[in-house]
Structure 1
Amino acid sequence: MPLFKNIVVYRIGPEWTPPAFDRLDAELQRLAFVPCQPTQEHSAGWVPPRGKEHGALVEIVGGQWILKLMVERKAVPGGAVRAELEERCRKIEQERGRKPGRKEKNEIKEEIVHSFLPRAFSKRGSHSLWIDLENRALVVSAGSLKAAEPVLKPLVDLMAELGHVMPLAPLNTATSPATAMGEWLTTREAPAGFTIDRDLELKKPGEEKSVVRYARHSLELDEIGQHIQEGKLPTQLAMTWNDKVSFVLTEHLGIRKIDIRDVDDAPKGEDGFDADVAIATGELSALLPDLLASLGGELAHGEAPTLAPAPAPAPAEVAVAA
């Protein structure tokens, strides 16, 4: 599995200094992942990025720091909970001649969930984190800012405990991605070093968000310019950088579906980890400055980018595929 399939990038404040490597690893060991207990819904903790049992919980490859957070969740079927809750409330009404109030129903629901948890299926997922000290960047393997937040929190909290408070801000550019993507599509001219591929999503803001999607389809169409003129904003666009890295750029500067080409042909060591890290961090470190430049350059945190105008609402959804 690729080290980074989807990423969100944060800029680290200039006042941050990293803790000593040994101290950080020791604290991460204290917070190592432990599977959910029978009645526990959620568990998160650190695991060895290299994948070897009892290995280090922070790895340094070519000056890049790599960590991995494991998250486990147990899912109790909502339908089963609702059915059991209705049955218990019905019995209370029959036996006591009254319907349970909201507070009592919530307490009963919590009891039901707690009783179902030992039989619930668990699902695990891991998230890689990359600290680029030279460029003062923190990269999280997540598909959106919302998904990245719970991954960031354990690291930020730990840094604060260690006395190395880590101020973070999402990347901010002079031109919003939606505005820039609209310009590229309208002029049919990609920024220098990039090509536009064959997947696109456009949305029209408003109460009834209309959506147009193109999948594996030529985007050199007059109708795409018409959609943009009507107020639809590009929210996802497939691109390739320097014939090396293909990805999907989102309206919030997320980078998804990353595919680094020729990565399988690169020489690798015993477990391949060092090579994977070197390739991924090397290519993405080179891609990011070009991407930021194509969006008018990076702004300091708090500065406002150029935004596309907000259009009126419109109905309907259209899907287009080859």
Structure 2
Amino acid sequence: MFFKTATLFQLKETVDFDKLEAALAEFPLKEVDSQDEFSFGSMPLVRNSETWSLRSNDCLLMRFGKEEKNLPSSVVREALEEKVAEIELIEGRKVGRKEKADIKDELIFTMRPTAYAKRSDVWMHIDNKAGFIAIYSTSANMIEQAFKHLQTMLGSFPMTPLQAQVSPSATMTHWLLMNDVPASLETGATCDIQEPQTMDKAKIAFTNLEPLSEDVTRHLQQGMNVKSLALRWTDKINFVLHDDLTIRKVKFDDAIKEAAFNDSQGGGLSDMDATFALASLTTRELFTSLCAWFEIATAEQEQAA
């Protein structure tokens, strides 16, 4: 998978791939029940197939899904306003806050079974060699549900957010102020900066402008910090790195895509296998670089200590 966005987490221990693969089909995504808000579960990598995962380079690719009742708040609000107006007209009294809340709950209970069910998915891969999991999303809700599902399947899933020993924002700010960007990186054409101290945290978004230019560095010299920065890494990936270390707007180089195409035997799963083989190795290298740039202790370093 050539992902477009990713959130990385470190593993505290190696994951048993055999156990996890066996559990994927045992906890599939099911249709959401009439009164449930959503359901969450494993999904085959390709629709109507029995392939639940792929392995390559000591990495495991998976796909989870969420089905939820699409009950727009505007529809609920309109129904609530109509019901309240009806009560006030017929009974000649004001409807209080608590009664409104009770009516709203009752309306949701009544309307949810007939609401449209919408499906969404989230892809991820676990890298046992490098000790991280990459979830191809920045949605806090989808990430939370993915970890809950992993815990359900395995009993536990020990992980932790990337623990940078130096501030990513301060580090990226230093790169631009001192023109000291790591040799493997080139700055792109976008940069977001913000005030670190003020209550409103004023922000400035620069687009189609070299981040090392005076227009940007002048604001940094006045105390603003980098919030996100477009980067190109080792001629392999373009991406935007945020100060929480999420990676967005990822674009793999055409040479990598061409290599994956040449390695494929043709067909959906074959194409996916070839793509994942190259993407997982590239992501592993990028993870190693992130650890070096922001002084993140890898699993191997922690074990050695």
* TM-score between the two structures when normalised by the length of structure 1: 0.82
| Aligned match for 2:220, one of 228, 236, 240 | 228
- 1:146 Cα deviation after fit: 6.2
Counterpart residue number, 2:166: 175
| CA-CA distance at 1:299 after TM superposition | 4.2
Could you list the per-position Cα deviations for residues 114-169 of structure 1 after superposition, in whole angstroms to 9, with x for gaps in the alignment?
A: 44445544443211121111122111111266652232221123221xxxx32111
| Map of 2:20 onto structure 1 | 24
Q: Which moved more, 1:134-143 or 1:70-79?
A: 70-79
- Alignment correspondent of 2:157: 166
The 8 Å contact of residues 3 and 128 in structure 1, kept in 2 or not, is answered as no
Paired position in structure 1 for 2:236: 244
SS in 2 for 1:30: coil
C-alpha distance in 2 between matches for 1:226 and 1:8: 31
The reply to whether residue 186 of structure 1 matches residue 177 of structure 2 is: yes
* Deviations 1:232-274, CA, capped at 9 Å, x for gaps: 2211101011111111110001111111112331211232011
Tell me, what secondary structure is at the counterpart of 2:25?
helix
| Paired positions, count | 291
Tell whether 2:202 aligns with 1:204: no
Structure 2: where are the runs of 5+ without partners? 300-305
3-state secondary structure, aligned to 2:68: strand
Give unmatched runs, 5+ long, in structure 1.
302-322
CA contact (8 A) 2:55 2:61 kept: yes
Moved more, 73-82 or 246-255: 73-82
1:74–1:120 contact (8 Å) kept in structure 2? yes
Amino acid at match of 2:275: D
- Residues of 2 paired with 1:194 and 1:134: CA distance? 24
Matches within 5 A, 1:35-50: 35-37=31-33, 40-49=36-45
| Distance change >3 Å, CA 199–CA 166, structure 1 → 2 | same
The answer to whether the 8 A contact 1:186-1:224 is kept is no
Aligned match for 1:260, one of 246, 252, 257: 252
Between the aligned partners of 2:190 and 2:162, the Cα distance in structure 1 is 24
Q: Answer 1 or 2: which has greater helix percent.
A: 2
Give the deviation of 1:285 after TM superposition.
Answer: 0.6
Per-residue Cα deviation, 1:25-68 (whole angstroms, up to 9, x for no partner):
3432222112335554322211112x152413232223211111
C-alpha contact 2:88 2:94 (8 A) present in aligned 1:
yes
1:298 partner letter: I
Structure 1 residues 1-322: aligned runs within 5 Å: 2-14=1-13, 17-19=14-16, 21=18, 23-37=19-33, 40-49=36-45, 51-117=46-112, 120-143=115-138, 148-160=143-155, 165-205=156-196, 206-261=198-253, 262-266=255-259, 267=262, 268-270=264-266, 271=268, 272-295=271-294, 297-299=295-297
d(CA) in 2 for partners of 1:285, 1:149: 23
SS at match of 1:202: strand
Matched residues, percent identical? 26
What do residues 165-213 of structure 1 show as CA deviations (whole Å, max 9, x unaligned)? 3211111122211011101111223112111111111122432221111
> What's the secondary structure of 1:278's corresponding residue?
helix
Distance in 1, matches of 2:140 and 2:75, equals: 32
CA 1:97 to 1:144, structure 2 compared with 1: closer, same or farther past 3 Å?
A: closer
Partners of 1:24 and 1:195 in 2: CA distance: 38
Q: Deviations over 1:61-89 (max 9, x none)?
A: 23211111112333323222222212211
TM-score (norm 2): 0.86
Provide the aligned C-alpha RMSD in A.
2.4
The residue identity in structure 2 corresponding to 1:263 is I
Task: Give the conservation status (yes or no) of the 8 Å contact 1:200–1:238.
Answer: yes
